[in-house]
Amino acid sequence: MNKGMLTVGIILLSLIALLLINVLTNFSTGSELDYYLVKETADAAMEDSIDWAYAGRCGLYRIDKEKFVENFVYRFANNVDNTRDYNIKFYDINEVPPKVSIKVDSLTTLAFNSDKAKSAADITTSYDAILETKYYGNAVVEEGLNDTKSDFCTTYDMKGFK
């Protein structure tokens, strides 16, 4: 009887140890995977949302906010881990110069709360990105990007309009 209980205790202890190792590994690799997923998705979505008509007329790169958000969410949803819940927040999206700030919260398997409240197992990934181009002085080194003095290229401050 003594050896049987000792065997059951060892089996239970090894199962708990394997469960703990699995959860900790999921948490540590989940953070790295989330960072690279957000980084690659944001960079690709920025390139897809470039307004080429504006760039051709004005010589400045500009992204469309709505197109960026649509591309980001679509790409992120296609590549995400289905076993976790994600919360995407866009903090800053500048059209000219192109810059985005994104924060993604994800819950790992350690989250036992039914109301998805903040717990110690949340992974928060923040990413700030700018669109990098080749500049030489004040001119962009791309062909066909010139006329910055046209009315089409003028940006207006909306505070003065009613």
CB atoms within 10 A of CB 103: 15
Look up the domain containing 66 and give its range: 2-146
Residue 161: inside a domain: no
Q: What token pair was written down for 117? A: 């409240």
User: Residue 83 pLDDT more than 80?
Assistant: no
How many separate domains does the chain show? 1
Strands (E) across the chain are located at 85-94, 99-107, 122-130, 135-136, 139-140
**Residue 67 backbone zone (phi > 0: left; psi -120 to 50: alpha; other: beta):** alpha
Q: What percent of the chain has pLDDT over 70?
A: 69
User: Residue 72 pLDDT more than 90?
Assistant: yes
User: Residue 81 pLDDT more than 90?
Assistant: no
Residue 132: inside a domain: yes
Q: What is the pLDDT of residue 53?
A: 83
Residue 155: inside a domain: no
pLDDT band at 27 (very low <50, low <70, confident <90, very high): low
Taking the C-alpha atoms of residue 45 and residue 75, their distance in angstroms, rounded to an integer, is: 8
Residue 162: inside a domain: no
What is the pTM for the complete model shown?
A: 0.66
Residue 153: inside a domain: no
Name residue 127's beta-bridge partners. Answer: 102
State how far the alpha carbon of 144 is from the alpha carbons of 47, 57, 71, 132, in Å. Answer: 18, 8, 26, 18
Q: What is the pLDDT of residue 103?
A: 92
Mean pLDDT of the chain: 76
Residue 124: inside a domain: yes
Residue 152: inside a domain: no
